[in-house]
Structure 1
Amino acid sequence: MLPPYVSRELVAERLPLIFPEGTPNRAYCTRDLAASTVFAMLYIGAIEHTDIRLGPVHVYRMTDLQALNSSDEERLSYRSNLRKRSFEVPGKRWYADNTREPIRDETLREGLVAIGAVIEDKNVPTTSGKPRYALKSDLATLFDPELQDEKLEAAILKWQDEHLNKGALARVSLMRMGAVGQEGVLVHFPNGETRPLSHGPSSQISRAVVEVFAKQFLEKPAVLWLSESSNKVAMQDLRMASAIGLDIEAERNLPDLILVDLGPEHPLIVFIEVVATDGAVTARRREALFELTDKGGFKRSQVAFVTAYSDRESVGFKKTVTGLAWGTFAWFMSEPDKVFVLRDGVSRLSSLNQLLAH
Structure 2
Amino acid sequence: MSLPVLPPFNVVHERLPMIFPAGTPERNYLTRELSACTIFVGLYIGAIEGTDTWLAPKHVYRFSDIQEGMTSLAERAAYNVQVMKPGGRAPGEQWYADNSRESIRDETLREGLVVLGAALEKPGVPTTSGLPRYMLQAAFAALFDPSLTDSALADAILAWQAKYLTPGALARIAIVKRGAAAGGDHVLVTFPSGETRKLKPGPSSKISKAVIEVFAPRFLGKAAVVFLSESGNKVVARDDELAKVIGLNIKADKNLPDIILVDLAPEHPLLVFVEAVATDGPINERRKEALADLAREAGFPVEHIAYVTAYLDRGGSPFKKTVGALAWGSYAWFESEPTGLIQLSSGRSAL
TM value normalised by structure 2: 0.91
Alpha-carbon contact 2:58-2:130 (below 8 Å) kept = no
- Corresponding residue SS for 1:230: coil
* Alignment-mate amino acid for residue 56 of structure 1: P
Are positions 1:31 and 2:18 aligned together? no
- Corresponding residue SS for 1:280: coil
Gaps of 5+ in 1: 348-357
Aligned mates of 1:271, 1:86 — CA distance in 2: 60
* Alignment-mate amino acid for residue 103 of structure 1: I
Alpha-carbon contact 1:190-1:211 (below 8 Å) kept = yes
- Corresponding residue SS for 2:135: strand
Corresponding residue for residue 343 of structure 2: 341
1:291 to 290, 293, 296: 293
Aligned mates of 1:119, 1:5 — CA distance in 2: 20
Alpha-carbon contact 1:270-1:304 (below 8 Å) kept = yes
2:280 to 262, 278, 281: 278
The CA deviation at 1:97 is 2.7
The CA deviation at 1:320 is 2.6
- Corresponding residue SS for 2:287: helix
Cα distance change of structure 1 residues 87 and 252 upon mapping to structure 2, 3 Å threshold: closer
Gaps of 5+ in 2: none
The CA deviation at 1:199 is 2.7
Aligned mates of 1:228, 1:100 — CA distance in 2: 47
Corresponding residue for residue 167 of structure 1: 168
Corresponding residue for residue 146 of structure 1: 147
Corresponding residue for residue 96 of structure 2: 95
Corresponding residue for residue 326 of structure 1: 328
Corresponding residue for residue 210 of structure 1: 212
Alpha-carbon contact 1:56-1:100 (below 8 Å) kept = yes
Aligned mates of 1:31, 1:232 — CA distance in 2: 39
Aligned mates of 1:138, 1:126 — CA distance in 2: 25
Cα distance change of structure 1 residues 301 and 87 upon mapping to structure 2, 3 Å threshold: closer
* Alignment-mate amino acid for residue 330 of structure 2: T
The CA deviation at 1:231 is 4.1
- Corresponding residue SS for 2:288: helix
* Alignment-mate amino acid for residue 95 of structure 2: W
Aligned length: 348
Alpha-carbon contact 1:255-1:273 (below 8 Å) kept = yes
The CA deviation at 1:338 is 1.8
The CA deviation at 1:181 is 4.6
Corresponding residue for residue 355 of structure 1: none
Alpha-carbon contact 1:167-1:334 (below 8 Å) kept = no
Cα distance change of structure 1 residues 246 and 186 upon mapping to structure 2, 3 Å threshold: same
Alpha-carbon contact 1:115-1:164 (below 8 Å) kept = yes
Cα distance change of structure 1 residues 86 and 259 upon mapping to structure 2, 3 Å threshold: closer
- Post-superposition Cα deviations, 1:53-100, rounded to whole Å, max 9, x if no partner, equal 111222122223322333322221222233346977444432233332
Q: What fraction of aligned residue pairs are identical, expressed as a percent?
A: 55
Write out aligned runs for 1:193-272 (5 A): 193-251=195-253, 253-272=255-274
1:187 to 189, 207, 210: 189
Aligned mates of 1:239, 1:88 — CA distance in 2: 74
Aligned mates of 2:128, 2:106 — CA distance in 1: 15
- Post-superposition Cα deviations, 1:145-177, rounded to whole Å, max 9, x if no partner, equal 222222222221222222222332222111111
- Post-superposition Cα deviations, 1:202-221, rounded to whole Å, max 9, x if no partner, equal 22211110110011112222
* Alignment-mate amino acid for residue 107 of structure 2: E
Cα distance change of structure 1 residues 127 and 223 upon mapping to structure 2, 3 Å threshold: closer
Alpha-carbon contact 2:182-2:202 (below 8 Å) kept = no
- Corresponding residue SS for 1:134: strand
